[in-house]
Amino acid sequence: MGVSDDPTVFEQEPSWFYRQGTNRVLKQRIITALILAPIVIAGIFLLDGIYFALFIGIIIVIGAWEWANLAGIEGKTTYIYAAGISVSLVLAWYLPATWILSIGLLWWCLALILVVRYPMDTRIWGGMWQRSVIGVMVLVPAWVSLQQLKTYENSNFLILLLMFLIWGADIGAYFTGRAFGNKKLAPAVSPGKSWAGLYGGMFTAVLIVIAMTFVQGDMQFESKLWWQFFAICMFVTLISVLGDLTESMFKRYRGIKDSSNLLPGHGGILDRIDSLVAAGPVYALLLIVIGWK
């Protein structure tokens, strides 16, 4: 299936803060979030090593099953694709993290071009096999990134900060976008997003980095390391927006609004982690580059 012919299908962005629904749907969202949030936070804080890898791996494999739909794979073959991603995760376990993360970075650089030029280049990536391979470059580096972050002494802080940056940017974008969002960011891909929303999200991210590193208390604001870390966080926040836009692009091309209906009121797993799968690999790779310990 190609680009939807109905321009109203995607008028509302299918994320927590950009989709309007009935009170029933809103209630579903809240209940689902209240159930999922403690599970995710507990997994971050309580699990290590192979157990953490399995925990994140389950999420990624479910995301792979949903990506099969984005790729145009149907029927039982979706499970074969998810199994293939599982095997890829096992192989990635034995490879240097920098290799996998670099592949992820290269993909997101390409994704930026595809999003900006959409729908002009769909003939290049629109085939089932192309989208299937892209799924590997999206999902496997995301899994590796969280394994890499978990190796640091302050891993819980790093992972929570990453998530707060993503969530905070989404919230900031929602409010500023509603108030001032006349100029659209990427109307061909996601009509709900605006430049004002982007600026608001970035400002929120600035506040989050300052607040969380102050509470953490192990970095001086005037140090070179802090400013490097701050720059990384700002760049990663921008990449998280690209992740959201990229999934919207694939959904628009496929003619669907949600990656699945697994999460009541939220859509699918990919709809919840689309920003994380982009931000995670870049975040982890840049921390390696600056010699984070």
* pLDDT tens digits, 117-148: 999 999 999 999 999 999 999 999 999 999 99
Classify residue 262 by its DSSP letter.
Answer: S
Give the integer Cα–Cα distance in Å for 83 and 77. Answer: 10
Give the integer Cα–Cα distance in Å for 184 and 248. Answer: 15
**247 Cα distance to chain centroid:** 9
Confidence (pLDDT) at 36: 82
* Lowest-pLDDT choice from 24-33, 57-66, 148-157: 24-33
Confidence (pLDDT) at 6: 37
* Lowest-pLDDT choice from 27-41, 70-84, 185-199, 214-228: 27-41
Q: C-alpha distances in angstroms, 179 versus 19, 68, 138, 170, 175?
A: 16, 37, 33, 14, 6
- Give the pLDDT band (50/70/90) at residue 157: very high
Classify residue 100 by its DSSP letter.
Answer: H
Confidence (pLDDT) at 25: 59
Confidence (pLDDT) at 265: 63
| pLDDT surpassing 50 at residue 199 | yes
Q: Which residue has the higher pLDDT, 126 or 265?
A: 126
| pLDDT surpassing 60 at residue 14 | no
Q: What angle do CA 79, 264, 275 make, to 5 degrees?
A: 70
* pLDDT above 90 as % of the chain: 71
Q: Which helix (H) or strand (E) holds 144?
A: helix 128-149
Q: Mean pLDDT, to the nearest integer, of 181-185?
A: 88
* pLDDT above 70 as % of the chain: 90
Confidence (pLDDT) at 16: 40
Give the integer Cα–Cα distance in Å for 64 and 70. Answer: 10
Q: Which helix (H) or strand (E) holds 192?
A: strand 190-194
Confidence (pLDDT) at 20: 44
- Give the pLDDT band (50/70/90) at residue 48: very high
| pLDDT surpassing 60 at residue 4 | no
